């Protein structure tokens, strides 16, 4: 039986701390979206990259934008993608809000009935509160015990030892809803699970379309996307990558 190797870390500077964070966060990532087109996949890559280097708020905003974007595209054209898609400004304006998109997607069975509550209780709220930078409201909504009377607990968003509101979502103290609290630990807990849930919901929407990967003009972007998600974010592998990055000309 192979012995497990334990490593002790020290972080003497910002870069080493960043590498340690990337290694830890990359381990829990879901399998990525398959390649479709840059407007979807490169936005997804930005969301994941932001998260693994500690930019939780950027990750949350990007995931919200991507969910709304994919939902709108699927509603407007389930067959074409990338350069094969042709949508007028008038068509794009037919869907005025994420709430309207969710309602229409449910009627057209792009969103399954059992997923409707997630889109309304998570995607819609996070999108609106993060877009308008209403941080206390975002904290209140995603650190209480219940979504509502009918839905399950929120322990996936914040563990019991970090509960900062009571079951109704009211803060336990004024400090609990300080704007800075989001950048302590709350942002991490929300971003981490939002990526897992959001990735699954995106895959379900894409599966309801006939979209084909568009490689007509996007070879470099697809290669960059695949390289990112195939890389091992282990600290030792990052060190090897750095050693191989610099090629010095012969000084003799």
The answer to whether residue 2 scores a pLDDT higher than 60 is: no
pLDDT digits (tens, 9 = 90+) for 13-56: 899 999 999 999 999 899 999 999 999 999 999 999 999 999 99
The answer to whether residue 219 scores a pLDDT higher than 70 is: yes
Assessment of whether the complete model's pTM goes beyond 0.75: yes
The answer to whether residue 111 scores a pLDDT higher than 80 is: yes
Whether residue 188 contacts residue 24, with contact meaning beta carbons closer than 8 Å, is answered with no
165: which strand partners?
A: 171
pLDDT digits (tens, 9 = 90+) for 158-202: 666 667 777 676 777 777 777 888 888 888 988 998 999 999 999
Confidence band (pLDDT; 50, 70, 90) for 149?
Answer: very low
Q: What is the gyration radius of the CA atoms in the chain, in angstroms?
A: 21
Q: Can you list the alpha helix ranges (DSSP code H) found in 77-143? A: 89-92, 98-107, 116-118, 124-131, 135-142
C-alpha 54: how far from chain center: 12
> Cβ of 3: how many Cβ atoms within 10 Å?
5
Task: Kindly state the average pLDDT of the residues 201-230.
Answer: 94
Average pLDDT, the chain: 86
The total number of residues shown for the chain amounts to 252
More confident residue, 154 or 72: 72
More confident residue, 64 or 181: 64
């Amino acid at each position: 039986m192979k012995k497990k190797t334990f490593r002790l870390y020290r972080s003497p500077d910002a870069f080493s701390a960043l590498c340690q964070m990337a290694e830890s966060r990359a381990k829990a990532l879901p399998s990525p979206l398959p390649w479709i087109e840059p407007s979807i996949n490169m936005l997804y890559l930005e969301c994941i990259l932001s998260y693994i280097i500690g930019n939780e708020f950027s990750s949350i905003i990007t995931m919200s934008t991507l969910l709304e974007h994919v939902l709108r595209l699927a509603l407007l054209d389930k067959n074409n993608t990338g350069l094969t898609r042709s949508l007028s400004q008038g068509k794009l304006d037919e869907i005025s809000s994420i709430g309207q998109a969710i309602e229409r997607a449910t009627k057209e069975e792009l969103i399954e009935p059992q997923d409707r509550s997630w889109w309304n209780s998570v995607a819609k709220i996070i999108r609106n509160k993060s877009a308008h930078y209403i941080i206390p409201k975002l904290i209140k909504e995603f650190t209480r015990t219940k979504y509502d009377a009918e839905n399950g607990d929120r322990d996936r968003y914040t563990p019991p030892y970090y509960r900062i509101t009571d079951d109704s979502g009211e803060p336990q103290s004024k400090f609990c809803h300080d704007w800075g609290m989001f950048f302590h630990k709350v942002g991490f807990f929300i971003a981490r699970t939002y990526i897992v849930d959001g990735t699954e919901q995106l895959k379900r929407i894409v599966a309801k379309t006939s979209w084909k990967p568009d490689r007509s003009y996007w070879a470099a972007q697809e290669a960059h996307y695949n390289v990112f998600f195939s890389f091992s974010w282990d600290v030792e592998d990052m060190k090897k990558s750095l050693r191989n990055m610099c090629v010095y000309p012969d000084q003799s």
